[in-house]
Chain A
Amino acid sequence: MWAHYLPRLVLYVAIGSVLVGLDVGLPRLLNAYLVQILVFVACNIVLATSLNLINGIAGQFSIGHAGFMAIGAYATAWLSTTHGQRLLAPYEGQRLEPLLIVAYLVVLMFLGGLAAALGGLLIGLPSLRLRGDYLAIATLGFGEIIRVLLLNLEPVGGATGLRGIPQYSSLFLVLVAAVVTVAALHNLGNSVHGRSLLAIREDETAAEALGIDCAHYKTSAFVIGAFFAGVAGCLYAHYTQFIHPRSFDFMKSIELVLIVVLGGGNLRSVILAAVAITLLPEGLRLVKGALHLPFDPRMAIYSALLIAAMLVRRERVLQAVLPGRKGGGLRE
């Protein structure tokens, strides 16, 4: 019995000690800019793997994932600026403070996740009637609605954005969240639940005929995916200390879809793609600095690389999303 769990236990301890090592070592090795980039990488890993559950595993093409992130970010940032800071103020400077902040952030992540999951439920229900391009456009609309509503909500800053969010999150916590998310989604993908979602992606009619409750599972994919996006939003907001509806626009959703598609639906390659796509614009920043260009060619190069990647590796990029058949992920 024990021997069975031992390798996994060793793995967890190893991951844990690596994370602690990173927490101690990284701030000494890296400057604030590099730490921030790593935080964004970890956030994008959480976002991309959770979108992978919806797009890659369940095959429900969603291009509104930034909307869920926005819900999580704004809900928790609002809570922190209005209540959270006051709640933690008496403990400022005390020995317990760091622990309390972590506990508070964990609770906050759950709340942000739940708020986003509610949004996931809202968009999951239409997904029962819509397919393919129509579903994609409904999720796009949902993301835009969230963004425009936030742009008009004065209590959370409206068009000026929400500033003054306390920096409760740290590189260590974001990395832990990323590891937990990946582990959870990995296990989910291998469970009965994940297999049912795969079956729905492959052939909904056949899945229904085999007794899989398609309505339930499709909605659940949206709810779970949205939950983790909300968690990522919470961590993002409590790291950057400033959020604006612009941070969660259509381009953010597209970036995430891109990661999932480049990753090909396979969890490991989605993580790799998340790292690559997040680092790419930063790497191009170095190129710009080295060449002393008067303009910023980063986005142009980025998009040209994207087109080139699709033209060169068109089949392999999408291997896992579309196993051996045309149009699998994006059904007609």
Chain B
Amino acid sequence: MSQQLINAISLGAVYALIALGYTMVYGVLRLINFAHGEVFMVGSFIGLAALSVFHLPFALAVLVAMVGAALLGAVIERGAYRPLRSAPRLAALITAIGVSLLLQNLGMLILGAAPRAYPPAIDPAPIAWLEERAGVVVTRQQVVILAATAAILAGLSLIVSRTKIGKAMRAVSEDRQAAQLMGINVDRVIAFTFCLGSAIAGAGGVFYGVYYGTADPLMGLMPGIKAFVAAVLGGIGSVPGAMLGALLMGLVETGVSSVTLRVSPSLVLTGSTLRDAVAFAVLIAILLLRPAGLLGRPGREKV
């Protein structure tokens, strides 16, 4: 049980790193940034290059991936979303889908569709004394990933709650027009939000690659959708909500993976194949009970 919990938290941590970017961008722009999963993918590949081509140490590789992803986020925002700032939201949404497709396919053209092996930058062996004392298998990878995720999340919370630009982000997400009237450079805040969210996703990409040992151009698709679901689950636009939602997603997926349902001899439903379906079923159920997500503010109906 505690074993499952640790696996769930590790998975949830990666989802949280992606979900935060979705939720922050949605907060300031009311845009579902479909290309976010691909930023995660690109971050993962930058990390892969840093680790296996340039032989950088793990921490530095994560940093390089974060910077690269942030740059990509800035380019996407500047090139594809800013020209559509005054256009209907649907136009931006479709453009986001287009950017996502473009990055996937460019990745396939440049890197090929076959998955690449990720170097085991951190020792994947279980920590011996924990296994002896508590009977729980915890790998050094999991510890490092969890610690790094915690540090990133703490840093993010500090930026959002304590710094001037964080205050501006909150102001823009509250009311963009009013923020502009107060002298906030909204374009800069939005660009910064993209960079921040993309950097975090880039770090998530490296962790994901190290944890699962592979990277491929389509790797952003499923984690991207799951992380988005996590963000909606927690209430999109809310930073603590995204973390909570991601943790819940990790718990549900890991929990379902361990169950096998034998309906009939020809119909055996194993949890590991069904977990995607269950994750979405949970989402729909929670949305029905709390349409604005767990920590989201219910929108008031204006007449």
Contact = CB atoms under 8 A, between A and B. Distances in A.
A142 B284 contact: yes
A184 B44 CA distance: 49
Interface string B146-187: 000000000000000000000000000000000000000000
B84 interface: yes
A136 B97 CA distance: 14
B95 A141 contact: no
B65 interface: no
B97 A145 contact: no
Nearest to B236: A133
Given A155-B266, A306-B97, A314-B91, 12 more contacts: A126-B288, A133-B26, A133-B32, A137-B283, A148-B277, A300-B102, A300-B106, A310-B84, A311-B95, A326-B88, A327-B88, A330-B90
B127 interface: no
Contact of A137 (B80, B99, B228, B281): B228
A296 B90 CA distance: 29
B36 to A, nearest CB: 14
A151 interface: yes
B119 interface: no
A310 B277 contact: no
B120 interface: no
B247 interface: no
A220 to B, nearest CB: 20
Interface of B: 26, 30, 32, 80, 83-84, 87-91, 93-95, 97-102, 104-106, 108-109, 221, 225, 228-229, 232, 236, 266-267, 269-270, 273-274, 276-277, 280-281, 283-284, 287-288, 291-293, 299, 301, 303
A100 interface: no
A303 B98 CA distance: 5
| Minimum-distance CB pairs A-B, first 9 | A141-B280, A303-B101, A148-B277, A306-B98, A303-B102, A300-B105, A307-B98, A314-B87, A299-B105
A310 B273 contact: no
A310 B287 contact: no
Interface in A272-303: 295-297, 299-300, 302-303
Contacts of B274: 148-149, 152
A152 B287 CA distance: 25
Contacts of B32: 133, 136
Contacts of B93: 330
Given A142-B280, A258-B97, A133 B91 contact: no
Contact of A318 (B90, B273, B293, B303): B90
B263 to A, nearest CB: 10
Nearest to B292: A134
Given A205-B301, A332-B30, A326 B89 contact: yes
B218 to A, nearest CB: 11
Interface in A45-72: none
Nearest to A133: B32
A114 interface: no
Nearest to B103: A303
10 contacts: A133-B32, A138-B283, A138-B284, A300-B106, A303-B102, A306-B95, A317-B91, A318-B88, A322-B90, A327-B89
A157 B262 CA distance: 18
Instruction: Classify the secondary structure of A's interface with B.
Output: helix
Contact of B84 (A254, A302, A311, A321): A311
Interface in A3-38: none
Contacts of B97: 254, 258, 306
Contacts of A329: 88, 90
A129 B269 CA distance: 31
Given A148-B274, A155-B266, A297-B109, A141 B94 contact: no
A187 B95 CA distance: 32
A261 interface: yes
B88 to A, nearest CB: 5
Which of A205, A296, A304, A307 is the most central at the interface, judged by chain B CB atoms within 10 Å of its CB? A307
B232 A137 contact: yes
A5 B108 CA distance: 56
Contacts of A145: 277, 280-281
B87 to A, nearest CB: 4
B136 to A, nearest CB: 30
B10 to A, nearest CB: 23
Nearest to A301: B105
A328 interface: yes
A217 interface: no
B5 to A, nearest CB: 25
Given A134-B292, A205-B301, A148 B276 contact: yes
A315 B87 contact: yes
A140 interface: yes
B91 to A, nearest CB: 5
Nearest to A148: B277
A157 to B, nearest CB: 12
Which of B80, B90, B98, B288 is the most central at the interface, judged by chain A CB atoms within 10 Å of its CB? B90
